[in-house]
Structures are given as structure tokens and as C-alpha cells.
Amino acid sequence: MFRIVDTTCASRSMTTAEQGAAILIPASNAAIAKSPLLKWAGGKRWLVNRVELPLPVHFKRYVEPFFGGGALFFHLSPRKALLGDLNSQLINTYCAVRDSWVAVEEKLSRHAMSHSSEYYYKIRMSRYEDPIEEAARFIYLNRTCWNGLYRVNQKGEFNVPIGTKTKVLIPGELRSISAALAGASLSAADFAHTMADTSEGDFVYVDPPYTVKHNVNGFLKYNQTLFSWEDQIRLKNEVRAACLRGAKVLVSNAAHESLYLLYRDIGEVITIDRASVISGSNAGRKREQEILVKCF
């Protein structure tokens, strides 16, 4: 069982009109981000414009218990959302950008001007008490490390080497990310904590670590914690419970027989092709398959 971390950032205040809206997807607005802030392993940038992606026409709130890069959230830009992830540094970063994007941008610009190999490793070894400083550090490392990978050692220390990217700051980006997150509550917590808060009117997108029943001992790293096959079963039970409460749920997962069998009784299983992009070389990038489980 994962430990629930009490790091919750409530959403900004919303107007009465926004709270009562039936469809919580705003009209096109250049000030609202449509692309993720961070590059994240397993991210779904490739999925958001695919015709195979099934989405509900109407929902009152968007919920994502494994937020990561949040590609689908930023693509939809819902006015009201509940976003969770076990990675407290990740959640702190989003909270800081949402509430204090100007201050984060100022710190990030200093990193951009100072970037070098020596500076990268200096910042990688540093940690800050100030959440604004820590958020800027997190974004800087994400943009300049190898392949945008998030990895920590057994002490919880970020240990990814420097990469080839040097672009740290994009003008106007943090402002638009802040606007996109304005109606979101964020919580650093186990997925069960987030899923338990779902009910009728919610659209829940679930994108867990892709553990299958027969992979290396059935475990994958979920940040600093192992995500096991037993956790996949626990997640399936939370999905079922959310559906029984009236939520509309969409699950992404590995295209493996064990996952087909796990979800076949609660939704429509759709197989979708994608290109693998986690490899550092073009030769290592090949076509793969994933599944989408539509529970609505």
C-alpha cells in the first residue's frame, strides 16, 4: 500500500458561472496552454489528437490520478479538475506555476542564462526549501536532462545525466500553464486517494505505470515506489468503484493479455498503435501497442 502524502493545493476561486457550467471545456483561448509543461516518460502527447481516442461529450470535472506530464488535461483545458500524483516534487511544481508563475519564470530565466554542464550538475545536487526555487529547479532539470527522463536513486535524489537540449524558457508558456491550472486542485497522493473522490459528472483518465502480470517479477518503478501487479488489480477495483458511482472512466495500459483479461468485464477494450519514443536512438524506436479501456 502506498503512503498518502498530504500535499494538497486547492484550486483558485471560480465564478458562479464557471462552477455551474455543464461542459467544462472553455472556448479556444490563446492564453490557455494546450501542450504539457514537462516531458514525461509514458506521456500521452502522441494520443491526444488520435481519432481512436474516445472522450465523453459532456462532463463537469476532469480527474487524473497519475498526472505526470498531463498531456490530455492540457489538450482539453477543463475549467475544473482534480489532479493527483505520488510525486510530491511534480505536484509542487504545478502548484507553484499555477499560483506564482511570474516568480517561477524569474527563477527559471536565471537557470537559462547560467546553463552549462557544470551548472547542470551543480543544480542537480541542490535542493531548496522555497517551493518557487524548487519548482524552477524541477523544470530546468526536466528540460536539460537526458531525454526528459525523471529518475531518482534509492535516496530519492534525481540522478539523470545532462542531455543535449538547451532551451529552458519559452516566452509566455508559464502564464498559459498557470491559466490552464487555475481551476485545478492538485494532490500528492496515491491513486486510490484521488479515485475515491470521484462521482457522477466526473471524467476520469487513468494512465498508470505499465506493469503486466509476467514482466520482471511484476514490478515497475512508480517514482520511488514499486508499482506491482497487485497495484494494477487494486487500480482496476478503484476504476470499477468509480464507474458504479457514476463517473466516466478511460484507462490507458499495456497491450498485454493479462491487462485484456483484467479489464474485459468493466469496459470496451480498444487496441491502439503508437511509436515508442523512450529510446535514446532512432534505431530503438519502434511501433508498439497499447490499450484504451472505455468505461462509459
CATH at 181: 3.40.50.150
Q: How far apart are CA 84 and CA 66, in angstroms?
A: 6
Q: How far apart are CA 220 and CA 258, in angstroms?
A: 15
Question: Where a domain ends, among 176, 209, 237?
Answer: 176
pTM for the model: 0.86
Residue with cell 486517494: 193
Question: Where a domain ends, among 124, 150, 176?
Answer: 176
Residue 88, phi-psi category: left (phi > 0), alpha (psi -120 to 50), beta (remainder): alpha
CATH code, 131: 1.10.1020.10
Question: Where a domain ends, among 159, 176, 193?
Answer: 176
pLDDT at 274: 85
Please check whether residue 280 is in contact with residue 147, taking contact to mean a CB–CB distance below 8 angstroms.
Answer: yes
Task: Tell me the residue ranges of DSSP E strands in the chain.
Answer: 7-9, 61-64, 81-85, 184-188, 202-206, 219-222, 225-228, 248-254, 268-275, 287-295
Asked whether residue 117 is domain-assigned, the answer is: yes
Please check whether residue 164 is in contact with residue 149, taking contact to mean a CB–CB distance below 8 angstroms.
Answer: no
Q: How far apart are CA 94 and CA 237, in angstroms?
A: 28
Secondary structure (3-state) at 207: coil
Based on the fold, state whether residues 158 and 194 are members of the same structural domain. Answer: no
Residue with cell 488520435: 50
Asked whether residue 210 is domain-assigned, the answer is: yes
Based on the fold, state whether residues 259 and 200 are members of the same structural domain. Answer: yes
Based on the fold, state whether residues 244 and 107 are members of the same structural domain. Answer: no
pLDDT at 227: 84
Based on the fold, state whether residues 72 and 188 are members of the same structural domain. Answer: yes
User: Mean pLDDT for each 10-residue chunk of the chain (296 residues)?
Assistant: 51 45 42 90 94 96 98 97 97 98 98 98 97 98 95 90 96 97 97 98 96 60 70 97 98 94 95 73 70 97
Based on the fold, state whether residues 117 and 242 are members of the same structural domain. Answer: no
Based on the fold, state whether residues 63 and 83 are members of the same structural domain. Answer: yes
Q: How far apart are CA 129 and CA 184, in angstroms?
A: 24
Q: Which residue range(s) make up the domain with 242?
A: 7-11+29-89+177-295
pLDDT at 3: 36
Based on the fold, state whether residues 49 and 164 are members of the same structural domain. Answer: no
What are 275's three cell numbers?
511509436
Q: What is the count of structural domains for the chain?
A: 2
pLDDT at 281: 55
pLDDT at 184: 98
What are 121's three cell numbers?
550538475
